[in-house]
Structure 1
Amino acid sequence: MSNNLCVVLRDEQVYTSLTAHSLPDVIPFEPVWDPRDDVDCSPEDSKRPLSTCWAYSARPWFPLIPRNPTFDGPIFGCLNHSRFSLLTEVDSNGKYILHHDIREAWVALEQKLLWCLERLGAGLLVPWGTKLPRPPTSFGYQWSHADANLAKKVAIRSWDAFLLIAATCSWHIMTRRCHGSSRSWTSILTDDPNYPIPAEWVLELSRSFVGDLTTSVPRTGVLVSSKYCPWEGQLPMFEKFSIPVWVRFPRNASGGIDASAVDFTLRHYIPSQVAITRVTEPIQWGQPDDNTWGQPDDNTWGQSDNKSQGALGWDVSALGWGQAGGEQPVSDIPEAHADPSFPIPQPHSGQK
């Protein structure tokens, strides 16, 4: 058992993590994976929100989607748009379509990313027979619509798909680095005899959220049940590169955890009874939910200043990965005793 294991209690369930230090405000719904769900089935309605089921089913690359992607570089600068900044124009049939300047830039970016995806994934197996994510074009940013708002809505859906393609490239890079590939992923792109990508472009790609696999690029992460881990092959890679992984343990009648029912792959996530007791004591003794309890760790999850939109352009509540408030993580490291010479003041008493 690691001393770095963080333990959090919420809704009578225990969550532990070796790679994250805070828990999302709202645990996102994780539907049973179905390959058919990678298609957004939202109707042609400009007022109804987009469905996000297709993104949740895009395993294993969905956990690698950056929380706060930066679109200020020469590669991804063309994606620096929101629904309010997207421009539309009227085509020859009198319908609304995304402005041609944006479309042309997106088409060029899509071609490069898909080419990188093909080259980086050559010879690598896709887990569980999962299909690679569909290209952004298939989500409709080149379609014409009778409603300008619908044209923008569909463009944002395609914008999300760019992040999914980029995350898949990151997954291939991570796989090659983790398995000790004899060739660097950058040389795979620049040394292609038929269609080499300029070294300058690849260098910028390595500095972006695609090639930068350090903790400076917070990722979406994943939550798994302690009874079944579908990420068995990917879990060591996620841990190696500090991708947020939370494991959910249901509590038994005595308030503990039934270790015999834990997936063997996740046994190093089992918390000690001491750690479980420490996270339950504040609730049992009625500790108030103030800033001392539940301080968010912004450095871990990288929450942006824009509170209304997540990495995929959806409202934060849709994914449930906000930072407004959460439980204080508890480590298995023994806690130092307070000095009796300095009594702890009563909450909200104004004393320091």
Structure 2
Amino acid sequence: MNQTYPQPPLPSARRRVLMHHGVIYVAYNADHIPNPPLPHTADFLNSNVLPSVSWASNLHPYMGWAPQNPSFTGTVLGRLEAHACDKVEAKGNQGYVLASEVTASWIGLECSLRALISSLLGLLPHNSRTFPLDMENPRLPSSFGFAKSHPSPGHVRNAARRSCNAFIPVMAYATYLIMRLRRVAQENGWYEDRWARQLEEMEQFPPAWIQEVCLSQIVDMDTPRNGVFVRLSSCQFLKDVRTFINFGMPVWFVWDPMQQNTPHEWVNLIRPTTEELTNISMLTADTPMDISSAWGNPNYWIYMILSLHCICLLSF
């Protein structure tokens, strides 16, 4: 008979219970509820997911590792700096193209990041290679046309900007895999960034390039991340959530009636205490969040106020 063990507690020091637009969130590594991501991110992610609050969904859980403020600096990512998108050349009767040196540089970066991701996947132990059933790999930046000719300079710039933005999910996917490898290292008592040394030993990447990756936003742990919203009733990446929290990613668990009644082992881990509900923060935002579907039940606010009132009465 297989014996099941309760999940270990989540780090309470990083936890806050928040309320926004009548919805309760149990948050880790966050002290507020963010607005949805910028509309331009819908260029390379499923339009049904963005720009709703579920931008890091079962389709793209790695997007939680996307930097809040992407910075294309350093040897590896510096080639994506904004001015590169404005370097347009005429190509005779074939229209206009992105400058050849920029195109070559971006193709090289795309190939390098693809090779990095492939190598990171290869370093994962077999029991750590399972991913959400619905997860999709990020689209390649080249699929947005930065290497193609276009009818006008404006079309070239638009394709270049979309292609440049499309490097962000690729970077986030690499971060996602690196954090999995760091978790494996912690569990085995290994050096946390053992993956970097392993890549050097494979001699597939120059050591200086790997070092630059470690200094970039792909790996830098001081980089603020977008984070993820989690609904226990539908989340397929709970296996990763503890890693997300332990390595500092903001995580917001939705605590609505549907989640409260979900028969799941995580329910007791995130259930707000009476004290947390009594001291809950009331937040406002300049831009209303998209709280469509079950998230935005207009009666939920009344339900919670009455519940809190009853709790206070019972405590006496």
Question: TM-score if structure 1 supplies the norm length?
Answer: 0.65
Residue 201 (str. 1) matches residue 209 (str. 2): yes
1:332 aligns to what?
A: none
Q: 1:239 aligns with which of 245, 268, 276?
A: 245
Residue 229 of structure 1, CA deviation: 2.7
Counterparts in 2 of 1:250 and 1:115: CA distance versus 1, 3 Å: same
Q: 1:18 aligns with which of 22, 28, 40?
A: 28
In structure 2, stretches of 5+ residues that fail to align are 1-8, 292-316
Counterparts in 2 of 1:60 and 1:111: CA distance versus 1, 3 Å: same
Residue 177 (str. 1) matches residue 182 (str. 2): yes
How many angstroms apart in 2 are the aligned matches of 1:27 and 1:12?
20
How many angstroms apart in 1 are the aligned matches of 2:284 and 2:82?
33
Residue 225 of structure 1, CA deviation: 2.0
Counterparts in 2 of 1:115 and 1:26: CA distance versus 1, 3 Å: closer
Q: RMSD of aligned C-alpha atoms?
A: 3.6
1:163 aligns to what?
A: 168
1:349 aligns to what?
A: none
More helix by share: 2
Counterparts in 2 of 1:262 and 1:88: CA distance versus 1, 3 Å: farther
Counterparts in 2 of 1:318 and 1:119: CA distance versus 1, 3 Å: farther
Contact 2:225 2:249 in 1 (8 A): yes
Any idea what the Cα deviations from partners look like across 1:178-227, whole Å, max 9, x if unmatched? 0127682112322225xx21111111111111122x2x111111112243
How many angstroms apart in 1 are the aligned matches of 2:95 and 2:236?
45
How many angstroms apart in 2 are the aligned matches of 1:82 and 1:24?
29
SS in 2 for 1:122: helix
SS in 2 for 1:223: strand
Equivalent position amino acid for 1:162 in 2: F
Give the alignment of 1:142-157 within 5 angstroms. Answer: 142-157=147-162
2:308 aligns to what?
A: none
SS in 1 for 2:225: coil
Contact 1:40 1:52 in 2 (8 A): no
1:299 aligns to what?
A: none
Equivalent position amino acid for 1:80 in 2: E
In structure 1, stretches of 5+ residues that fail to align are 30-36, 43-50, 252-256, 283-292, 297-315, 321-352
SS in 1 for 2:239: coil
How many angstroms apart in 2 are the aligned matches of 1:166 and 1:82?
20
1:88 aligns to what?
A: 88
